[in-house]
Amino acid sequence: KETKKQLIIDAGQKHFGTTLCKSCGMIYTVSNPEDEMQHLQYHHRFLEGITYMGWKRERVVAEYWDGKIVMVLPRDPSYALKKVEDVQELVDHELGFQQVVTKYPNKTKTFLFVSDEKKVVGCLIAEPISQAFRVLSEPNASKECSRAWQCSDVPEPAVCGISRIWVFRLKRRKRIARRLVDTVRNCFMFGCFLNTNEIAFSDPTPDGKLFATKYCNT
């Protein structure tokens, strides 16, 4: 054990250790060829997937000093649906969803947060629902199985289900998710601003739950 450690230190020199790629957000080991290869592959795919060149007829539903939100609907041109598909694939990969659903259900609304650098740095996929089951807080739940929330078995009325919400790792905690949800509440149903109890987050991750709890209480 001692010798192995020594070897790594000797071979590593100035490139030893983990690096964070400032473009794609991946953390990898520079001195490890396999890691470097994996990073290169991910890097290209990621940047290709999120690059947004702008569309002739884009539906800008909100504008901010650091970007804008574009809404994509089921009957939009194929280049728009293709972009949504690419982003969803990245998101599903990050969330650990095995199966990528490529079809675009006809009631889904997608919201893309596009940064000033012409990158999709946030994505929210919403669909109409009629009921939701409230997540019950579990004071003594173990932290390890933190994804298996216990849900109430009493359905409550809801209008809009958020099936995915994602923000690019390096752009988190800049209120991008908050602005996406605000926009959905405003745009999901024409002519009304949805209450927080009319929206529901499906199968939230620990990050998703922290965000949702904070969002719904403020």
Binding site for Zn ion (CB under 5 A): 21, 23-24, 43
Among positions 114-143, residues that touch ligand ACO (CB under 6 A) are none
Residue closer to ligand ACO by CB (options 19, 205) is 205
Q: Taking the alpha carbons of 98, 197, 148, 208 in that order, is the dihedral positive or negative?
A: positive
Number of H helices, E strands in the chain: 5, 10
Total of residues contacting ligand ACO (CB under 6 A): 22
Q: How far is the CB of 95 from ligand ACO (least distance, A)?
A: 6
How far CA 166 is from CA of 48, 110, 173, 204, in Å, comes to 17, 12, 12, 11
Distance (Å, rounded) from C-alpha 164 to C-alpha 2? 46
The interface region with ligand ACO, picked from 39-47, 51-59, 141-149, 168-176 by CB under 6 A, is 168-176
Q: How far is the CB of 201 from ligand ACO (least distance, A)?
A: 4
Q: Is 113 in the site for ligand ACO (CB under 6 A)?
A: no
User: Quick one: which of 70, 126, 160, 167 contacts ligand ACO (CB under 6 A)?
Assistant: 167
How far CA 2 is from CA of 5, 6, 16, 58, 213, in Å, comes to 5, 6, 17, 60, 47
Distance (Å, rounded) from C-alpha 218 to C-alpha 215? 6
Please say whether the beta carbons of 113 and 122 come within 8 A.
yes
Report which residue type is found at 200.
A
Question: Binding partner of residue 68 among ligand ACO, Zn ion, none, CB under 5 to 8 Å per kind?
Answer: none
The interface region with ligand ACO, picked from 1-9, 64-72, 144-152, 159-167 by CB under 6 A, is 159-167
Q: Is 28 in the site for ligand ACO (CB under 6 A)?
A: no
**Binding footprint of ligand ACO on the chain (CB under 6 A):** 95, 162, 164-167, 172-178, 201-202, 204-205, 207-208, 210-211, 214
